[in-house]
Amino acid sequence: MRSDQITKGPSRAPHRSLFKAMGYTSEELNRPLIGIAASYNEVIPGHIFLDKVIQAVKDGIYMAGGTPMLFHTIGVCDGIAMGHQGMKYSLITRELVADTVETMCMAYPFDGLVIIPNCDKVIPGMLMASARVNLPTIMVSGGPMLAGGDRNSCIDLSHVFEAAGAFEAGKITQEKLDWIENTACPGAGSCSGMFTANSMNCLSESIGISLPGNGTIPAVKGDRIALAKRSGMAILDLVKKDIKARDLMTMKNFRNALAVDMALGCSTNTALHLPAIANEAGIELTMALINEVSNKIPNITSLRPAGSFHMQDLDDAGGVQAVMAELLEAGLIDGSLMTVTGKSIKENLKNVKVKDRAVIREISNPYHKTGGLAALFGNIAPEGSIVKQSAVKDEMLKHTGPARVFNCEEDAIKAINGGKIVKGDVIVIRYEGPKGGPGMREMLMPTAAIVGAGLDKDVALITDGRFSGATQGSAIGHVSPEAALGGPIAAINEGDIIVIDIPAKTINVKLSDKVIEERLSKIKLPENKYGGCLGRYSRIVKSASTGAVLS
């Protein structure tokens, strides 16, 4: 056992003595030692109840004959960090979480690892660390929040952002805004649509590193606690069989994940996180591969923000496993791959059925014939950009309009709320990429303001920053190379004509290569004026097209 390094033999008496100072018994130290990486805290609704999940995992580990050892990581709620300087510190936490888990797993030679995240960057951060340390690993999340509102309407966090925009535009009253604010988020869990956290939780099932149900069982259900207990028990079986994280993180597993991503219509942030996780396993996932998979996989669900259904509806319809069953029957995923159940995907799906065809459609009758995401290339984004095409209005799939250029998110929000953006405009927000932001802020506030002002059928937004999973509309992010790296987006001037063609996977500005080069040669790129972890991140982060990994 790996833990023999600190528990066996006379020379390890000092190590055992320190464990016994914490109350561990000799019997416990002779069992497999299972590390539990958890992100419980009191500042994120998706994490506020993870103490209950942690206890259930511990119970499962004890029942199966192991000894659980808990440690914690940090976490940032993107919704609370949105729209101010705090958002610069969101994406960078992915690497901080990964470093924390790696450090603990190398300092303490655990025999197995259970990761307990919830919410946007904590999930990929823990999965990245899992690939690095390559222990027998299982992930169990806190699960999604229920939708809010009342019996006449189901609403979620994105409705609150959109309501704020509608209020600024004079379209709703203060009373209506207050009601939406007070009812949209009814309790614990990751926000209730197919936003980034729930996207990553669902994709963990498709990779095979979580038990069935991890992506969709609501946080408040007893089934979530039972899942945590079963996960605690399952890790001992993985240790016994020596099934490690990278055994479940192969190119085939990631292709399955991309297929499920397209079928579900997941967040654009998965185009950052899946490549970053794969990178830790020595695998390259490219923007071109996203299009290759998207062109083959139909979008068979319509979840918020693209549609009207929420995570609880997907769970009731059969969850991620039912979506995978549809894909497997059509030969669109590889069913032979092993999972943390100890069985193959095909074996897991043997008796799985779709329970609601309004939520999960047949492959032959999809919501969209192609997948939820598309990568766009052109003279604005030579290395690519990303859009959630399933959340774009049909009339905006192709759009040509004048650029309205802003060098930060705040200036764009002021213009939108001030009525300075008109039908046909293409908003350009730059110097918000991984290096230039720094931290690649999410742009949910400007996109929600566009929706709230009733302009989502008429206005597009492109940025070298990124978008929340709750974003809808013609919102194109991850433009690479970013402005701070001298990317062509830095050469766009006010009034330049931008041509977006999502079906053709192109995004261009009507400028010659010579004009773009001349303009770029005259631009003085901003200096990194930040200290601390943000400054360090800015100096070593790579392009969004790589998953914004660190060099």
Q: Please give the positions annotated as active site.
A: 468
Q: Which residues contact 11 (CB under 8 A, 6 or more apart)?
A: none
Alpha-carbon distance of 113 to 134, in angstroms, equals: 9
| Prior bond of 481 cis (ω within 30°) | yes
Instruction: Say how many C-beta atoms besides its own lie within 10 A of residue 296's C-beta.
Output: 14
From CA 515, how far away is CA 109, in angstroms rounded?
57
**Distance from C-alpha of 146 to C-alpha of 225, rounded to nearest angstrom:** 16
3-state helix, strand and coil shares in percent for the chain, rounded to the nearest 5:
45, 15, 45
d(CA 119, CA 160): 18
Query: What is the C-alpha separation between 271 and 203, in angstroms, rounded?
Result: 12
For residue 155, report the phi and psi dihedrals to the nearest 5 degrees.
Answer: -130, 170
Measuring CA to CA, which residue among 165, 189, 195 is closest to residue 470? 195
Contacts of residue 151, Cβ cutoff 8 Å, sequence gap at least 6: none
| Helical residues (DSSP H) of 108-189, grouped into ranges | 122-133, 157-168, 174-183
| Whole-number CA gyration radius for the chain | 23
Q: What is the DSSP string of 427-466?
A: EEE-S-STTTTTS--B-HHHHHHHHHTT-TTT-EEEESSB
Within 10 Å of residue 358's Cβ, how many Cβ atoms? 11
